[in-house]
Amino acid sequence: MRRTLERFTLLGPGLAYLTALMVVPLVLVLSYSLFQRGRFGGLVYEPTGENFARLVDPLYLDVVLTSVKLAGVTTVLALLLGYPTAYAIAKLPAKWKTVALIALVLPFWTNFLIRTYAWIVLLSPAGLVNDALTGWGLIDEPLQLLYRQPAIVAGLLYAYLPLMVLPLYAALERMDAELLEAAANLGARPARAFFSVTFPLTLPAVVTGCVFVFVPSIGNFVVPELLGGGQTAMVGNLVRDQFLKARDWPFGATLALAVVALLVVLLMIQAWSARRLQGGRDA
């Protein structure tokens, strides 16, 4: 009895936190999605399945596919940039690792909105990028870099790249260096040792980093709004518009629920792949 009471005492704050900030909001979102929209907004407490049927409407499916494409491109680019970055940090002398990690997370200490506005300064027709290209004689007239999908990808990549680098760095730091020495002693060249030893051992971190980048990218609505000029809508913009503009709370809740379901599926895939990879190494 005493041990049970101690367990509940220790788990109590965490359970209360999860209940208040995750379970209750999810139940509210789920309940909203089951009712009809009122004539002037709000809810009409009459059950309906129409909100879920609207999810497969071609108009909304196109937004979802665009979101998946942009978030997917961002995730791939984050992996291609993040892996060498994490590898380079892991190989630094100990005193420089801290400096590199602080430099990596330093942008997080700045307001996200300000960081996004900074990209407008960089990419605008009179911005630094066009000034540099014009000054070097590479272009005659400023390029239209803003309000296009590549600008959205650049903003998302800048915002979430550390979420790819940090788990990869942690995995590389934990890796036993003697494994690489053994591979070298057996005649493996550095490239062969990397693809036979280093990369397989860091695959769980690769999957984790991809999930960490993909999930917030697909739900982001600030970057598409500011850097896309409102011309490219993503799922986050759609959810926001349903709540604040269309005042269709039931359908907005259904869309939000779909994003949460996608998040759960991705986390399950990440956990499953981590178990498979860990099991393969232990076998």
Classify residue 7: in a domain, yes or no.
no
> Can you give the pLDDT at residue 1?
67
Classify residue 78: in a domain, yes or no.
yes
Classify residue 253: in a domain, yes or no.
yes
CB 114 within 8 A of CB 103: no
- Helical ranges in 175-234 per DSSP H: 177-185, 190-193, 199-201, 203-219, 222-227
> Can you give the pLDDT at residue 281?
58
The CA angle 188-277-263, to the nearest 5 degrees, is 130
Classify residue 248: in a domain, yes or no.
yes
Share of the chain above pLDDT 70, in %: 97
Residue 2 has pLDDT above 80, yes or no: no
Please state the rounded mean pLDDT for residues 157-184. 90
Classify residue 146: in a domain, yes or no.
yes
123: exposed, middle or buried (Cβ count in 10 Å: 0-12, 13-18, 19+): buried
Q: What is the pTM of this model?
A: 0.84
Classify residue 231: in a domain, yes or no.
yes
The whole-angstrom separation of Cα 24 and Cα 243 is 19
Classify residue 110: in a domain, yes or no.
yes
112 or 82, which is more confident: 82
Classify residue 282: in a domain, yes or no.
no
Domain that includes residue 121, residue range: 51-276
Q: How many domains does the chain have?
A: 1
CATH of the domain at 128: 1.10.3720.10
Q: Which residue has the tokens 């359908």?
A: 251
